[in-house]
Homo-oligomer: A and B are copies of this chain.
């Protein structure tokens, strides 16, 4: 057993802030577990700051759900002007110096509470009603946690924050106190769903569905008071491995009834259970292809077992041939999800959500937006992001990912008037298609970066990514800079520390990109663990991840005219823009085209000089990060100061390694010297 650390830091919910709310007379009119949660928050807050939890009559601030607003004497006319408050949303009703926080549901109330705790009451604002509601109904975290330690992947697949918060040594942790704290952190930024186990479902994890169900019950109990519904990743072959059936064919009645019975048992134990996450026919996981069935057959079979209980299936679109022949240049992994799933649009049941990674490959530091997102208007969608920094420094490097996510969410799928990725996954395309928005709502799913580490996320600054994920899932129009300021303000007391952390985090995604893989080429990492450089590491493998660098040039030709045709999977103007090197954005040039090292970018630099410059500059930027932190470290909490210092030292070491290996590789291959004559080995 590896015990959890005795204390963990408070992340963005330290006890002190919240004075604006906690110093007043506040009232709450709500029942049920979430009402109790808010009440307890208010009691703690007012006790700390000198306020009180009083009756509505004497209160400055009243919190309630919309269905109780009439009883509470709220100005219903003003409220009705804004129409119904969405379930997960809330309204702030201001009248004569008082504020009512009206949740569209219990969950909306909880989010309203966290809003005023965080943003303050703004009592000087004019009377009126202000509604805040999430852009995406689905705001979910997937945990790639293993119950039993996996011989290769360990306790959390792609986990960089110690062990699992949930499981240890093959069983559920007896003490789930920290899971409760975690759930509160998630609720404070609006997360409403959590999947409890790795999408690669190994033997012990599979049994969470059956004889380990009591573990799920206990976790659901901990997440429930924070408005978070729990989900399980399940193996498509469960009817065979757990049920002893001879097949897992989704069209076999025995299989269907096995799943129905399994689902019924789950809902008997957990009436508000969320549903399943499924990685099928992907990287060796079983799926419907094994029975000659479509992914529609597979997903709908599970959906129909869950539907009577209101459950959902998150069906991952991450399906590709991971046993490709590297000699075969006609097969393009980037096309795979599109080719598999675009033809299935319209065949999925209403409670099936297609979960699509934001890029066509796999969470590289730079990818174009997945064309699947614009290709399935009659399918519910979840955009899959990766908070855990698998390919972006593994929480040893500071890498603030909100700017990447913000770009993805805002990407217009067509001309400027076209819906953005955020709007598409929220359901805009479906709503436009048949005016039934409800059935088409989706959202954002992200792989969590949290573990048993005392700072939750290994690198304390990686907390900002988790925070930002929640905030962008709520409102994709928030600026990454603004979110960072919110997080800094909530996390650190000292202005100098905030300034240093801000300077380290701002631009850190581009910095990571600059010293690792250039111009969208990706995959220059060590195979397997994915940390550190190995330019040819994936070049001759079956993974479909190639750069084709030779002595003359580099990049993958994905044009329609001469390449794999991938560029043509986008709507205009993107298809035309991506088709030619001249109109492709520099940062994606090598993703779409094979060009000579002497090709001149829009920046004016040649490709080879860009490689050299960006790698030298990336390291310089990390040196600045190190210096910025050293200047303020003694003003930060000592555990944070030490951890951040260690991680920055490793980031610098690693960045130097990236710089030298990448530059050396390309100097040896191209023979073109650095214009500035810097040291390359």
Chain A residues engaging chain B, CB cutoff 8 angstroms: 151, 326-327, 533-537, 540, 549-552, 657, 660-661, 664-665, 667-671, 681
Candidates B533, B535, B668; contact of A551 at CB < 8 Å:
B668
Distance between Cα atoms of A151 and B149 in the complex (Å): 11
Q: Do the beta carbons of B550 and A668 come within 8 Å of each other? A: yes
Residues of B within 8 A of A671 (CB): 550-552
Distance between Cα atoms of A667 and B327 in the complex (Å): 14
Residues of B within 8 A of A151 (CB): 151
Give the top 10 A-B pairs by smallest Cβ distance, nearest first: A550-B668, A536-B536, A540-B661, A327-B681, A551-B551, A551-B671, A551-B669, A151-B151, A669-B669, A327-B660
Candidates B536, B549, B552, B670; contact of A534 at CB < 8 Å:
B536
Residues of B within 8 A of A665 (CB): 536, 540
CB<8 Å pairs between A and B, sample of 22? A151-B151, A326-B681, A327-B660, A327-B681, A533-B540, A534-B536, A534-B537, A536-B536, A536-B537, A536-B665, A537-B537, A540-B657, A540-B664, A549-B668, A550-B667, A550-B668, A550-B671, A551-B551, A551-B669, A551-B671, A668-B669, A669-B669
Distance between Cα atoms of A423 and B211 in the complex (Å): 67
Distance between Cα atoms of A681 and B539 in the complex (Å): 12
Cβ distance A193 to chain B, nearest Cβ, rounded Å = 34
Distance between Cα atoms of A151 and B327 in the complex (Å): 33
Q: Do the beta carbons of A540 and B534 come within 8 Å of each other? A: yes
Cβ distance A660 to chain B, nearest Cβ, rounded Å = 6
Distance between Cα atoms of A654 and B669 in the complex (Å): 26
Q: Do the beta carbons of A670 and B551 come within 8 Å of each other? A: yes
Residues of B within 8 A of A552 (CB): 671
Residues of B within 8 A of A550 (CB): 667-669, 671
Residues of B within 8 A of A533 (CB): 540
Instruction: Please state the number of chain copies in the assembly.
Output: 2
Residues of B within 8 A of A540 (CB): 533-534, 657, 660-661, 664-665
Distance between Cα atoms of A550 and B671 in the complex (Å): 8
Identity of the chain B residue whose Cβ is nearest the Cβ of A328 in the assembled complex: B681
Residues of B within 8 A of A537 (CB): 534, 536-537
Residues of B within 8 A of A657 (CB): 540
Cβ distance A208 to chain B, nearest Cβ, rounded Å = 24
Identity of the chain B residue whose Cβ is nearest the Cβ of A552 in the assembled complex: B671
Cβ distance A328 to chain B, nearest Cβ, rounded Å = 9
Distance between Cα atoms of A549 and B671 in the complex (Å): 12
Distance between Cα atoms of A660 and B325 in the complex (Å): 11
Residues of B within 8 A of A681 (CB): 326-327
Distance between Cα atoms of A660 and B549 in the complex (Å): 16
Residues of B within 8 A of A535 (CB): 536
Identity of the chain B residue whose Cβ is nearest the Cβ of A541 in the assembled complex: B534
Residues of B within 8 A of A551 (CB): 551, 668-671
Distance between Cα atoms of A668 and B665 in the complex (Å): 13
Distance between Cα atoms of A93 and B664 in the complex (Å): 69
Cβ distance A2 to chain B, nearest Cβ, rounded Å = 16
Cβ distance A671 to chain B, nearest Cβ, rounded Å = 5
Distance between Cα atoms of A552 and B668 in the complex (Å): 8
Cβ distance A564 to chain B, nearest Cβ, rounded Å = 16
Distance between Cα atoms of A669 and B549 in the complex (Å): 9
Identity of the chain B residue whose Cβ is nearest the Cβ of A664 in the assembled complex: B540
Q: A326-B681, A536-B537, A550-B669 are in contact. List 12 more A-B contacts (CB 8 A).
A: A151-B151, A327-B681, A535-B536, A536-B536, A536-B665, A540-B661, A550-B667, A550-B668, A550-B671, A551-B669, A551-B670, A551-B671
Distance between Cα atoms of A549 and B664 in the complex (Å): 11
Distance between Cα atoms of A535 and B541 in the complex (Å): 12
Distance between Cα atoms of A106 and B432 in the complex (Å): 94
Cβ distance A345 to chain B, nearest Cβ, rounded Å = 36
